[in-house]
Structure 1
Amino acid sequence: MPFVIYVLGLGIFAQGTSEFMLSGVLPSVAHDLDVPLSSAGLLVSAFAVGMFTGAPLLGLATLKMPRRAALIGFQLVFIAAHVAAALIPDFGFLLVMRVVSAMAYAGFWAVASVAAVSLVDAAKRGRAISVVVSGLSVATIIGVPAGTLLAQHAGWQAAFWAVATLTALSAVALLVVLPGGRDTTAAQPRLGTELRSLRAPRLWVAYATTALSVAANFAIFAYLGALLEDVTGISDGLIPLVLGLYGVGALAGLTVGGRNADRAPFTVLLAGMGSFAVVAVVLAVTASSAWAAIPLVVLLGAAEFSVTPAVNARVFAILGETRTLGGAVNIAAFNVGIAAAPIVSGLVIDTGLGLAGTAWIGAAFAVTAMGSTLLDRHLTRRRQAQTVTPGAGLLTAVPDPQQATAAAH
């Protein structure tokens, strides 16, 4: 695997830390800026909005730019937004900076995904994506607890400064290892071609799988700290440690999923979401027991992140070479799941199911994701059967990239 792909993962780690650490930083922000905790929670929604809108818009805006210039530019905007937020302690301004930084992060993620799959052959795309996305799991293991501790002992601004510094270091590393200029050996993306690539119905089924698989996770993860404290009875001082264990499970899942996503994406998706649904149901029933809940949290992380390389591999396999805008839309699909799932779970919490009910919602999303995966597999097999070319009086099937093995799994 090219070293630059690991550097892209470092960039995702730096910026992803800002996304995930906010749950631990919110109490400090609310106290320091004298706003209710519920109002401070708008910072999470603002980041999701920025991610959702930023990925496709900035994917289009940078379509003709060299990838290194786009990636470094996004990181510089992200750094500036965090520095400005730390220097100007105003909640309204902080809200705007969260949107700006999220848009920059979304642009970086979209271009980094395309860059990663472009640097390896088709048989290694899922593994390349798993390396890049592993930055998120490392963020949950290291970045989130560290950011929470900084906010508790040195103020939330210290956490923002730390993220800005780490992002600057990753930008310098990327500037060194990623070649500049354009790849003259590859066809340059054209807007019309990129837009036409979005017409494929099975692409939108793959996007639905992306959104549903992420929704399954965030239906539970968004309230996991509260679930562990209020239902399981774990002290608030130990919750960052348990969330770190979730990250350990996520890293293990990424490793396994990344090795198999290209060879058998449908198998990975069905097994991963099926496992997630089972674990979520068990968690819903046994949430009051710490002995059960803690290992189940680890398994949730492993099951969820095992499918991440596969959902990306499916999208890029369908897109082929027209992957810039389509890849950005996939990032937007991720954030549809992130934004929608906590809302649905929030409605359930107010019922008799309480916080444990979020696990039932996560299981329901996972089962639905299995349904969209089965539909994707059906459409892929049908397309493979219908795509033929004449030769020597015979009709010979011409599968898409990845489809010959994918259709069998």
Structure 2
Amino acid sequence: MPFFVHVLALAVFAQGTSEFMLSGLVPGIAHDLSVPVGAAASLTSAYAIGMIVGAPVMAALSARWPRRRALAGFLGAFVVVHVVGAITTDFAVLFATRVVAAIVNAGFLAVAMSVATALVAPTRQARATAVLVSGVTLSCVAGVPAGALLGEVHGWRSAFWAVAVLCLPALALVFRSAPIGAACEGEVSIRQEARALRSRDVRRAMLLAALVNGATFATFAYLAVIATDVAGLPGRAVPGLLAAFGAGSFIGVALAPRLRGLVTVMCVLAAGWAVLAVASAEVVPLFVLAVVQGGLSFGIGTALIGRVMRAAADAPTMNGSFATVALNAGAFLGPLLAGLASETFGDPRSAVWVSAVLAVAAVVIP
């Protein structure tokens, strides 16, 4: 595997940490900036929307840029907005930095996916995608808990500073190691590449990715509440449960290139969510199923990223953005549906049933 693919994974790790760490920093931000908790929590939604909008727009704008300039520009902007976020005392400015951070993160990820798969032979593209996505799973295992702990000890601003600093080695390596030329040879036609979305195979792969990722984050967003309110665990056990889910995710991503019988595995995923909904009051099944479902979810999700990019092979500069949009649409809608279900039925386990329904939908769609 080319060294530069691992450089991209390091940058994705830093950006993934930034995306997911907000859940543990909301109370501190609300108190420090004198805003309601709900307003502080909206920073997470702002990031998700920025990712959805930013992926195709940034991929299109940067299509004719040399790959080194595109990657370094997006990552450099990501560092700058985190510095601004760390020093601002204005919530509106902080909100704006989260939107901009998401947009440039989406641009970086879309370009990185295209570059990573272009650097390897077709038989190795699934492995290159898995290495890239491993940066996200590592952020769940290590980055998010570390960010939450740092915010608890030194304040939420320290977590923003830490993300900015973490990006610097990746930025230096991008300048040193990134391919200089464009990701594909010849003149790039964004309009022509966008026609790939007319393909039934592309749309179906994107829908599958959105449904599976929606199922993943519907439950992930409520794991802490399920642990304390359903299983009766103390708050100090929550990081361990999240780490268990993240560890399973990392294993799933590592095994994704060997995944066979995708429909069968998706059926197992749907069944696993249903079992978790029923058994989540018991501590041992809760932890075991967190590992299993994390592994299945991210393993299938990684495989579906590859399916989107293969289906849109005629759009080499845009196919990474198609996958990014699909994944983040799921990451936005899954927790939203889970929240509606939990409020309607007054039970956080309803979020897990939402995951089960979304996973079943992914199996049965034509």
Give the alignment's TM-score, normalised by structure 1. 0.86
SS in 1 for 2:235: coil
Counterpart amino acid of residue 146 in structure 1: A
Q: Shift in Å at residue 156 of structure 1? A: 0.4
- For residues 91-106 of structure 1, the aligned pairs below 5 Å read 91-106=91-106
CA contact (8 A) 1:272 1:304 kept: no
- 1:311 aligned partner: 304
Q: Does 1:236 align with 2:235?
A: yes
> Taking every aligned residue pair, what percent have the same amino acid on both sides?
37
In the alignment, the residues of structure 1 paired with residue 163 and residue 226 of structure 2 have an alpha-carbon distance, to the nearest angstrom, of 27
Count of aligned pairs = 366
- For residues 184-333 of structure 1, the aligned pairs below 5 Å read 186-260=185-259, 264=260, 267=261, 269-333=262-326
Instruction: Output one character per residue of 1:76-116: Cα deviation in whole Å (capped at 9) or x when no partner.
Output: 11111110011112211111110000001000000000011
Counterpart amino acid of residue 18 in structure 1: S
CA contact (8 A) 1:198 1:326 kept: no
- 2:130 aligned partner: 130
CA contact (8 A) 2:196 2:314 kept: no
- 2:328 aligned partner: 335
Q: Shift in Å at residue 183 of structure 1? A: 5.9
- 1:397 aligned partner: none
Instruction: Output one character per residue of 1:196-231: Cα deviation in whole Å (capped at 9) or x when no partner.
Output: 222212211111011111011011111111111111
- 1:107 aligned partner: 107
Alignment gaps of 5+ in structure 1: 376-409
Instruction: Output one character per residue of 1:241-296: Cα deviation in whole Å (capped at 9) or x when no partner.
Output: 21111111001111111234xxx4xx2x3243222212211111111111211111
SS in 2 for 1:350: helix
Change (3 A) 1:183 1:51: closer
- Aligned-residue Cα RMSD (Å) equals 1.4
In the alignment, the residues of structure 2 paired with residue 133 and residue 7 of structure 1 have an alpha-carbon distance, to the nearest angstrom, of 12
Q: Shift in Å at residue 45 of structure 1? A: 0.6
Instruction: Output one character per residue of 1:336-387: Cα deviation in whole Å (capped at 9) or x when no partner.
Output: 1111111111111123361011111101111111224xx3xxxxxxxxxxxx
CA contact (8 A) 1:128 1:258 kept: no
Q: Shift in Å at residue 333 of structure 1? A: 1.4
Counterpart amino acid of residue 194 in structure 1: E
Instruction: Output one character per residue of 1:136-165: Cα deviation in whole Å (capped at 9) or x when no partner.
Output: 110011101110011001000000000000
In the alignment, the residues of structure 2 paired with residue 275 and residue 187 of structure 1 have an alpha-carbon distance, to the nearest angstrom, of 44
Instruction: Output one character per residue of 1:282-321: Cα deviation in whole Å (capped at 9) or x when no partner.
Output: 1111111112111111111101011122111211211224
In the alignment, the residues of structure 1 paired with residue 191 and residue 20 of structure 2 have an alpha-carbon distance, to the nearest angstrom, of 36
Counterpart amino acid of residue 63 in structure 1: A
Counterpart amino acid of residue 239 in structure 1: V
CA contact (8 A) 1:27 1:37 kept: yes
In the alignment, the residues of structure 2 paired with residue 44 and residue 234 of structure 1 have an alpha-carbon distance, to the nearest angstrom, of 25
CA contact (8 A) 1:117 1:125 kept: yes
CA contact (8 A) 1:197 1:322 kept: yes
SS in 2 for 1:107: helix
SS in 1 for 2:207: helix
SS in 2 for 1:30: helix
In the alignment, the residues of structure 2 paired with residue 183 and residue 196 of structure 1 have an alpha-carbon distance, to the nearest angstrom, of 19
In the alignment, the residues of structure 2 paired with residue 344 and residue 183 of structure 1 have an alpha-carbon distance, to the nearest angstrom, of 37
CA contact (8 A) 1:7 1:170 kept: yes
- For residues 159-178 of structure 1, the aligned pairs below 5 Å read 159-178=159-178
- For residues 76-87 of structure 1, the aligned pairs below 5 Å read 76-87=76-87
Q: Shift in Å at residue 180 of structure 1? A: 1.8
- 2:153 aligned partner: 153
SS in 2 for 1:324: coil
Instruction: Output one character per residue of 1:152-192: Cα deviation in whole Å (capped at 9) or x when no partner.
Output: 010000000000000111111222222223468x3443223
CA contact (8 A) 2:210 2:326 kept: yes
In the alignment, the residues of structure 2 paired with residue 183 and residue 347 of structure 1 have an alpha-carbon distance, to the nearest angstrom, of 42
Counterpart amino acid of residue 270 in structure 2: A
337, 344, 347: which is aligned to 1:344?
A: 337
Give the alignment's TM-score, normalised by structure 2. 0.96
SS in 2 for 1:323: coil
In the alignment, the residues of structure 2 paired with residue 149 and residue 194 of structure 1 have an alpha-carbon distance, to the nearest angstrom, of 44
